[in-house]
Structure 1
Amino acid sequence: MTHDLTLPSGTPTAEGLAERAQRDPHRPRFHFTSPGGWLNDPNGLSHWNGVYHLFYQYNPLAPAHHHIHWGHATSTDLVHWTDEPVALVPGTDGPDRDGCWSGVLVDDGGVPTLVYSGRHGERELPCVARGSADLRYWTKDRANPVITTPPEGIDTTAFRDHCVWREDSGEGTVWRQLVGSGIRGVGGTAFLYESDDLRTWRYVGPLLTGDASQNRGEPDWTGTLWECVDLFGIGDGDGTDVLVFSAWDEGTTHHPLYWTGHYQGDTFTPTALHRLDYGGRYFYAPQSTRDEHGRRIMFGWLQEGRTDEANAQAGWCGAMSVPRVVTLGTNGRLHQAPVPELTVLRRERVEVAPGALTDPYTRLHAVRGDQLDIETTLRLAPGATARLVVRETPDGAERTVVEVSRALDGVGGILRLHRETSSLDPTVDIEPRYGELPLDADGLVDLRVLVDHSALEIFANGRPLAARIYPTRPEEAVGVGIGADGDVTLERFDAWQMASAFTEGPRPLWP
């Protein structure tokens, strides 16, 4: 998904990519990144025989979205990852000559099978590949593409990315598939297909179609194309279904959204539309799976916020979010949190004594770092604001501010991320991000902030906000502080240094 980019002028060759990536001070150390080159969408996410498999869009030749392969990594704990052989390589000719784009992994009678978008010229069409028992080696079907054209008679904006599942049809089980698309002049959509064998597909119709004329420019605009659609049930048997998609328009990635509602028959009846992550494009193209423990696990692509030229010089581009556990909250919206396994990386712990926050800002000299996991609980009176500052230089010239505030009437609040002073580099994105914060009558905010060099993920009462930050003095931008305006009580504050999830040294681009 997303359009191919022309390689920036002066882009270095693949030689030395992994070495330069390893040296970059902005490269995350406990978020998953490719060995070097380009990474985008999570693909084929699965928990197979006790092993988590993360496939991803990968260009091992340059840090640019061009000639996309499928990278592959495995883990037994969702924290430490092993690079596996590249799963899919674009063909010398045929339907995926210009890239193996986003898709999923399914279990076809015990045979691991990938359904992905093969790109040839300007066309993306569904293709299939069968894997070895250990999911390390893949053979593409000779019948590819298994759908040879988008639905006839519909002017589509694009046709790519897949969600595939097995379903009881009343006369046995069938495969069903959603393909992300858009109807020109109308809005984004997900086309529904059906098959008995994953190779011969019958078009059923649009599962749901958005209205691109509504809310254009707003953080909940549904776009002209729905990328990376993901349909799953959630909750304790209450019939709530979720349809996730990423809003795209004319080559621009906007933000991930989700509908709650009810999937039945050939339609999805929506009840409400919500923002999936307040970071917008910084948590894009998410994919989820139900693991063998019954949890809904989700990854998203943390896009960069610096220039193509900066990415080229760094030797790498793109990171994964930490894996998240997604549940249904009491308010009918999704609740997200880092997987508990992540705590295995915690090292030195610093605790701040609870009490009233009486100063607008206090530097916490005992807490420093660019690899941190911070957990705090704050109690906000109506009209109060609390702020947590991270990645601050000693002179305060560069600092990133996480802010939570409660409305004056006490009903609800706002989570804000201020990046206006995150970097003195005029070429990086420093726009603020924000979203609604659910609050009970007690005004409590459970706030967790993960700092991993340029990767930042915030979770406030189950609402996430992901972003990227690039201090120009990264070695000095390690300060942490806290402050408040109004009546705020610090109920608890714990911070941990985080170990790296990867061994030191460059990783092979072609493991």
Structure 2
Amino acid sequence: MTSALHFPALHRTHPRGWINDPNGIMRVDGRWHVYFQYNPYSARHEQIHWGHVSSADLAHWREEPMGPVPREGEADSGGCWSGVGLLDRGPGGRPDGAGVPTLVYSAVDGVDNALSRVVVARTDRGLQQLVDPGRVVAEVPDIPGLIGVRDPFVFEFEGRRWAIQGAGIQSDEHVAPVILLYSCDEIEHWEYVGELLRGDHPVAAQHAPAELWECPQLVQVGERWVLMLSLWYRPEMVARSTVQVNYLVGDLVAAPGGSPRFEPVGGGRVDQGPDFYAPQAVVDAEQGRVLMWGWSWEGLARTQDETDEQGWSGCLTFPRELGLDGDRLVARFPAELRALRGEPLDIARGQGVEAQVDLPAPFRAEVAIQGPATVEQIRGDGRVESLAVHDGGDATVMIDGGILELLPAASTSSTVRLYPAEGDVIRVRGALVDGWLLGG
């Protein structure tokens, strides 16, 4: 049964089932479409379909027909896992140049899900149904020691279209992450051409250590390129396998033969909170920006029995607009989310810059900050639990039931899941400037 106190009502529209990675994000005819990993049957990671929502303004969303679903006897019989969306203007594209909405994803067979194949599917122009349910365009590459490959991402570089996948390769007892590179000028014809980056590159080894890089996202932010990597380890090495999301910033250069090579110069964490993984980035050419959504899983202390009882698991973050402060990746909420603002918050002002606002459950609010601040959960019995700390400078915190997102202007974002009970209060205190209740 859905809990009104911690259900993130402004983030998702599915009160039952499992959600993980955002996928297939694209803007078509003025409307944003966001797909995501989805099990409509239970709050567990199994039988993965592509759920689908859309929005004209990034703030108000409606449920849409699902995208790819597992097909018995096909490459995706075990699940339709992560991938991207694009408007394909190549062979088969619309003669008016508008492009065909196309979905590119990892197909798993339920036998060896670590080694996925790439499938391409087509939808109608309104993204209401699949007109081509999908065909394999890339088999598992024949690479000695390959322990896993998945999560295609498609990008353009110097007039050509390329794709990458995350992978891990074992040599003796050592397993190293690798980004595999493909040419795909025609989206249905992929050719493996080598490696974009290896985990033994000194900058990569420092800033993104892992055994396999999942969900690679390669986008140009300003004058630099940013490669976001979800860090994964074998279960025998790290119990949860999925760890956190880091990024590398650097340059994309042409190697001999014209294929791109990524040269990182720095890096860090995409989000320093405990509940953020597998983001997807998309270039919004109309607005000249890069947007990113992430998956916020249930908190580590949440038991499977509790998740089964509530009937749903996971949500997507609000969209974030990416930028660089030097070589540091930063994010802010898009201006479109101001449409969610309702009544102003009653902020208690103290001496100097100290201010405080208490939010009763269910918490749905935005608070603007200009200096040090803390966010705490005050339990009904008086216990105080720290949720987030902001050291200084401009920041925005948005809280929606059971998810808190803190986005500083010049430092790393934080995403935290919370589980309020009746009588709990969220307290934001510090250099608070303004705030609003959030609604639909």
Same fold (TM over 0.5): yes
Deviates more, 1:185-194 or 1:391-400: 391-400
Task: Report 1:208-227 matches (<5 A).
Answer: 208-211=197-200, 220-227=207-214
8 A contact 2:163–2:182 mirrored in 1: yes
Matched, 1:156 2:142: no
Deviates more, 1:451-460 or 1:295-304: 451-460
**Structure 2 CA distance for partners of 1:212 and 1:67, relative to 1, 3 Å:** farther
CA distances 1:79-114 after superposition (whole Å, capped 9, x unpaired): 111101111110011100010011011111211111
User: What is the DSSP-based 3-state SS (H/G/I as helix, E as strand, rest coil) of the residue aligned with 1:287?
Assistant: strand
Q: Within the alignment, does 1:126 sit opposite 2:74 as a pair?
A: no
Deviations 1:148-203 (A, max 9, x none): 222x23312211101113444xxxx5431101111122421110001342222211
Which amino acid is 2:333 matched to?
A: P
Are the equivalent residues in 2 in contact too, given 1:288–1:296 (CA < 8 A)? Answer: yes
**C-alpha distance in structure 2 between counterparts of 1:364 and 1:279, whole Å:** 22
* Distance in 1 separating the partners of 2:58 and 2:20: 18
C-alpha deviation, 1:315, in angstroms: 0.5
2:387 and 2:39 map into 1 onto residues whose CA distance is 34
Partner of 1:259: 248
User: Equivalent of 2:59, from 79, 91, 95?
Assistant: 79
Q: Counterparts of 1:238-249 in structure 2 under 5 Å?
A: 238=223, 240-249=224-233
SS at match of 1:146: strand
Q: Which residue of 2 aligns with 1:273?
A: 267
Q: Indicate the residue corresponding to 2:382 in structure 1.
A: 396
Hey, what's the Cα distance between the residues in 1 that align with 2:273 and 2:375?
17
Distance 1:254 1:147 in 2: 27
Q: Does 1:136 align with 2:128?
A: yes
Partner of 2:93: none
Higher strand share: 2
The answer to whether the aligner puts 1:95 opposite 2:75 as a matched pair is yes
Gaps of 5+ in 2: 90-98, 236-240, 255-259
Larger Rg: 1
Q: Counterpart in 2 of 1:445?
A: 393
Distance 1:284 1:498 in 2: 25
1:352 touches 1:493 (CA, 8 Å); kept in 2?
Answer: no
* Counterpart mapping for 1:40-51 below 5 A: 40-51=20-31
Counterpart secondary structure, 2:306: helix
TM-score, length-scaled by structure 1? 0.75
Post-superposition offset of 1:215? 11
Structure number with higher relative contact order (C-alpha < 8 Å, ≥ 6 residues apart) = 1
Distance 1:320 1:479, change over 3 A: closer
Contact 1:352/1:494 (<8 A) preserved? no
Alignment of 1:174-253 (within 5 A): 174-184=160-170, 185-211=174-200, 220-235=207-222, 238=223, 240-251=224-235, 252-253=241-242
- Structure-2 separation of matches of 1:177 and 1:307: 37
**Aligned counterpart, 1:467:** 416
The structure-2 alpha-carbon separation of the partners of 1:293 and 1:351, relative to structure 1 and needing over 3 Å to count, comes to same
Partners of 1:283 and 1:300 within 8 A in 2: yes
Whole-angstrom CA distance in 2 between matches of 1:368 and 1:24: 13
CA RMSD across the alignment: 2.4
AA in 1 matched with 2:339: V
Equivalent runs, 1:331-480 vs 2, <5 Å: 331-349=326-344, 350-353=346-349, 355-356=351-352, 364=357, 368-369=360-361, 370-378=363-371, 386-405=372-391, 444-462=392-410, 463-471=412-420, 474-480=421-427
* Aligned residue in 2 for 1:505: none
Q: What is the TM-score with the length of structure 2 in the denominator?
A: 0.86
Q: Deviations over 1:215-248 (max 9, x none)?
A: 99x9x5521111111111111xx3x111111001
Q: Given that residues 363 and 479 in structure 1 are in contact (C-alpha distance below 8 angstroms), is that contact kept between their aligned partners in structure 2?
A: no
Q: Which amino acid aligns with 1:179?
A: Q
CA distance in 1, matches of 2:15, 2:381: 35
Matches within 5 A, 1:269-308: 269-280=263-274, 282-291=275-284, 292-305=286-299, 306-308=302-304
Structure 2 partner of 1:107: 87
CA 1:146–1:348 in structure 2 vs 1: closer, same or farther (change >3 Å)?
A: same
Q: In 2, are the aligned partners of 1:224 and 1:247 still within 8 Å (CA)? A: yes
Contact 2:167 2:180 in 1 (8 A): yes
CA distance in 2, matches of 1:364, 1:289: 35
Cα pair 1:188 1:223 within 8 Å, conserved:
yes
* 2:413 match: secondary structure: strand
The corresponding residue for 1:413 is none
Q: How far apart, CA to CA, are the structure 2 residues paired with 1:392 and 1:202?
A: 56
CA contact (8 A) 2:13 2:63 kept: no
The C-alpha deviation readout for 1:251-286, integer Å capped at 9, x for no partner, is: 411111111111122310110121111014x22111
Task: Check the 8 A contact 1:62/1:316 in 2, yes or no.
Answer: yes
SS in 1 for 2:67: coil
